[in-house]
A and B are shown apart, each in its own frame.
Chain A
Amino acid sequence: MANDVQGITGTPAIVGARLGNIPTAKSTLLPAHLAWLDTQAIPRVKTRIAPWIDIIGYASRKGDVAFNQRVSFQRCEAVKNHIRLRLGQAEFNVENAKGETESLGDEKNDDGYWRAVEVYVFGFQPPEPIAKPTPSSPGSRQFKIRIRMGVSASPPFLSGPQGDAYYFEVVDVTRRLHAIFGYAGAGLALPTFLPSFLSLSGTGPYTNFTTSRSESLSSFDGPAQFFGDPGITIGPASAGGLVRLALESRTLVSHVTLLNPSIIPISGGAGVSVTAASATRGVFRMLTKAVPIVGAP
């Protein structure tokens, strides 16, 4: 006895089957036929580019030739209607109702093998998605910083309050970009013996620092703390007086990016200053666009 669904291999089709045992003189598809169409044929039609379906209808030799021709066509139509019901629209390239022309046996043969429809699904495999290039890191992990100029002010005779206004050049070493950052903050200072009011610093040397993740220059924009070590500077001569910068921008915090060193020690340039010790809190702002470095930084 023929199977209700018999897979067909060895053809160029993606999937093919002979749906047999359709009731005699009828075109009603069996549950097994519908299941195969729903689970094997239709999903493949959906996932292929420009798919099409070929349908070949058959009939057993029992009965009138013309009737068998008609019933094989109706069996093809039954398959088409079911697929259209599921997909809405589909491309049927071949619909060939062969009637009993290829059926074997005598005039009374009613073998279920011949009461059948062959269904073939064709289509093209979608190309593999093109791998997108990995986006290059938007920043760098190697930076350096130097003071371009800075002024600290602490009122004479009033020991305690201090204001800092410093300008730093921060260099993205990897991408060879640099930008100016300004720090403005207020805090406290230990009194000094010289009531100089202003402590001044010119352009100093670079200090290298790294970040645990790639960051752009604008990532450093945000709150910061600024510390002044004890020291004295008169012109180019200097003893002590390092400044230390702790960057606490929201971007760095949200990226969980750590700086090494966490508090960056920076030497000042030529200037005039007498500092006992100071600590201020303020904002480290990116004041200019990051521009390419021309020549050696």
Chain B
Amino acid sequence: MVTVHRTAKLELAILVVSAVLLASLVSGYLIVIPAMREMIKEFDMAVPQATRIALNVKSLVIVAITAATLMAGAVHCLRVGRRNPALIFAGLSLLVTLAASTFLFYAVSLPAMTSVVTPETQTPDP
């Protein structure tokens, strides 16, 4: 019988990537979303539903809590030496943060891809 011993490097790497992704996601909300909200309000822009969902702070809170819980679970499992559950938790946290980041990018880019041109001739003179 052959026993395969593997280190926790993979789990740790996934956890680090997840943490970086979560950090960029949170900073995205803190930096980009307020700027986008201000822009939408100032120019009275119409935004798609997906963008509205992404701009909602509740979305961030849900994603952040879920990802942080999964990461905490992975860390705990690593501490007690249960590597397989740790890998699953770390993988799930990576998936959650990656999916949330992808959705954020999609939602932010959606107005730029779908809006129609407004000819300047329709605008009033200043």
A and B co-occur in one complex:
yes
Inter-subunit contact B126/A292 (CB<8 Å): yes
Inter-subunit contact A196/B31 (CB<8 Å): no
Write the B17-45 contact mask toward A (1 if CB under 8 angstroms, else 0).
Answer: 10011011101100110111011000111
Inter-subunit contact A182/B28 (CB<8 Å): no
Inter-subunit contact B43/A180 (CB<8 Å): yes
Inter-subunit contact B118/A288 (CB<8 Å): yes
Inter-subunit contact A163/B109 (CB<8 Å): yes
Greatest chain A CB density within 10 A among B27, B36, B109, B123 is at B109
17 of the cross-chain contacts (CB-CB < 8 Å) are: A151-B105, A165-B105, A177-B126, A180-B39, A182-B111, A182-B112, A183-B112, A194-B20, A195-B20, A198-B25, A200-B24, A201-B32, A272-B28, A283-B113, A286-B118, A287-B115, A289-B123
Asked if A142 is at the interface (CB within 8 A of a chain B CB), the reply is no
Q: Compute how far the CA of A131 lies from the CA of B15 in the bound complex, rounded to whole angstroms.
A: 76
Asked if A217 is at the interface (CB within 8 A of a chain B CB), the reply is yes
Interface residue count on the A side (C-beta < 8 Å): 47
Please judge, given known A-B contacts A151-B109, A198-B105, whether A177 and B17 are in contact too, CB under 8 Å.
no
Asked if A176 is at the interface (CB within 8 A of a chain B CB), the reply is yes
Inter-subunit contact A270/B101 (CB<8 Å): no
Task: Tell me the smallest distance from the CB of A23 to a CB of chain B, in Å.
Answer: 70
Q: Compute how far the CA of A163 lies from the CA of B109 in the bound complex, rounded to whole angstroms.
A: 9
Q: Which residues of B contact A150 (CB under 8 A)?
A: 32
Inter-subunit contact A151/B28 (CB<8 Å): yes
Q: Compute how far the CA of A203 lies from the CA of B34 in the bound complex, rounded to whole angstroms.
A: 10
Q: What's the dominant secondary structure at chain A's contact region?
A: strand
Q: Compute how far the CA of A169 lies from the CA of B45 in the bound complex, rounded to whole angstroms.
A: 13
Task: Tell me the smallest distance from the CB of A200 to a CB of chain B, in Å.
Answer: 5
Inter-subunit contact A202/B31 (CB<8 Å): yes
Asked if B90 is at the interface (CB within 8 A of a chain A CB), the reply is no
Task: Tell me the smallest distance from the CB of A214 to a CB of chain B, in Å.
Answer: 12
Asked if A175 is at the interface (CB within 8 A of a chain B CB), the reply is yes
Minimal Cβ-Cβ distance residue in A for B34: A202
Partner of A288, one of B21, B31, B34, B44: B44
Asked if A221 is at the interface (CB within 8 A of a chain B CB), the reply is yes
Q: Compute how far the CA of A14 lies from the CA of B34 in the bound complex, rounded to whole angstroms.
A: 79
Please judge, given known A-B contacts A176-B126, A182-B111, A288-B118, whether A197 and B101 are in contact too, CB under 8 Å.
yes
Q: Which residues of A contact B (CB under 8 A)?
A: 148-151, 153, 156, 163, 165-167, 169, 175-177, 179-180, 182-184, 194-203, 216-218, 221, 269-272, 283, 285-293
Q: Which residues of A contact B109 (CB under 8 A)?
A: 151, 163, 165, 184
Q: Which residues of B contact A291 (CB under 8 A)?
A: 43, 123
Inter-subunit contact A218/B115 (CB<8 Å): no
Known: A182-B115, A194-B20. 5 other contacts (CB 8 A): A179-B118, A180-B43, A218-B117, A218-B119, A272-B23
Inter-subunit contact A272/B27 (CB<8 Å): yes
Partner of A221, one of B20, B113, B117: B117
Q: Which residues of A contact B119 (CB under 8 A)?
A: 218
Inter-subunit contact A286/B117 (CB<8 Å): yes
Inter-subunit contact B104/A167 (CB<8 Å): no
Please judge, given known A-B contacts A151-B108, A163-B105, A184-B109, whether A288 and B45 are in contact too, CB under 8 Å.
yes
Minimal Cβ-Cβ distance residue in B for A183: B112
Q: Which residues of B contact A198 (CB under 8 A)?
A: 21, 24-25, 28, 101, 104-105
Q: Compute how far the CA of A197 lies from the CA of B120 in the bound complex, rounded to whole angstroms.
A: 36
Please judge, given known A-B contacts A180-B45, A195-B17, A292-B126, whether A149 and B35 are in contact too, CB under 8 Å.
yes
Asked if B102 is at the interface (CB within 8 A of a chain A CB), the reply is yes
The 7 closest A-B CB pairs, nearest first, are A182-B112, A165-B109, A292-B126, A149-B35, A184-B112, A288-B43, A153-B105
Minimal Cβ-Cβ distance residue in A for B98: A197
Asked if B49 is at the interface (CB within 8 A of a chain A CB), the reply is no
